[in-house]
Amino acid sequence: MKKFRARRNMSRIDFKALILSENKHFVLINKPASISVLEDRNDATNILGMARAHYPDMQAAHRLDKETSGVLALAKTPEAYRHLAMQFEARTVVKSYHAVLDGIAQFKNETVALPLFQTAGGKVRVHKGRGKEATTILDTIEVFKKHCLVHCRPVTGRTHQIRVHLQAMGFPITGDHLYGGRSFLLSQVKPDYRLQAYKEERPLMNRIALHAARLEFKDIDGASISVEAPYPKDFKALLSQLRKNR
């Protein structure tokens, strides 16, 4: 039963409709939230599996967390994969994320350099003794009543880097329960909010409020590739409510 459900869910997603940009070396897509990039033992639905139905040799040049939406680069050939992997290793790829945070942060070209250590359970924490170098640059884009929209540029690419660095700064990402974030409820910002009797208020966004907004790197011939991913519906709805109830 579980296998049938996974295949059915995969068939609902049109991989071609996710494509933002494509050439003979790379495909860049706007990855939906709640879908793993690689195969997940708990869910057969994954981006790479869908991609290989169209391009058998496709490889994921990098990863996004399952609950994170936005730009994802896929390599069509081994040569393209190695070419982009080297750029990630050299830290020349420009990665831009947008995140909604709990609290009002006034970041202005703020550099967070805190070493990160991944525990056996998969959770990441700041650890100056055992952690690996990790750097993120932060800029506040917009401020709301109890939240803010922030541009995050990770220089390094550690697991959960943005999430843990923001938690360490005292501003966890909205909806990121693993690292101290709270669910966004309309009642938090809307004074006249009324809930129907015997009903429990549900979060407006059922995931972490993090979106990979832009990715920039060099193609094999040296030309610059720069792609932006529009916000998905849930992220736009969250920002709309924050702006209405500023």
Distance CA 110, CA 80 (A): 33
Secondary structure (H, E, C), 143-195: ECCCEEEEEEEECCCCCCHHHHHHHHCCCCECCCHHHCCCCCCHHHCCCCCCC
Q: How far apart are CA 114 and CA 163, in angstroms?
A: 12
Q: Respond yes or no: is residue 65 known to be catalytic.
A: yes
How crowded is the C-beta side of 172, counted as CA atoms within 13 Å? 13
**In contact, 160 and 114? CB cutoff 8 Å:** no
CA dihedral of 63, 100, 131, 47, whole degrees rounded to 10: -10
Tokens 């640059």 -> residue: 137
Helical (H) or strand (E) element with 226: strand 224-228
What is the C-alpha separation between 1 and 145, in angstroms, rounded? 46
Residue tagged active-site, from 40, 65, 192, 221: 65
Enumerate the active-site residues: 65
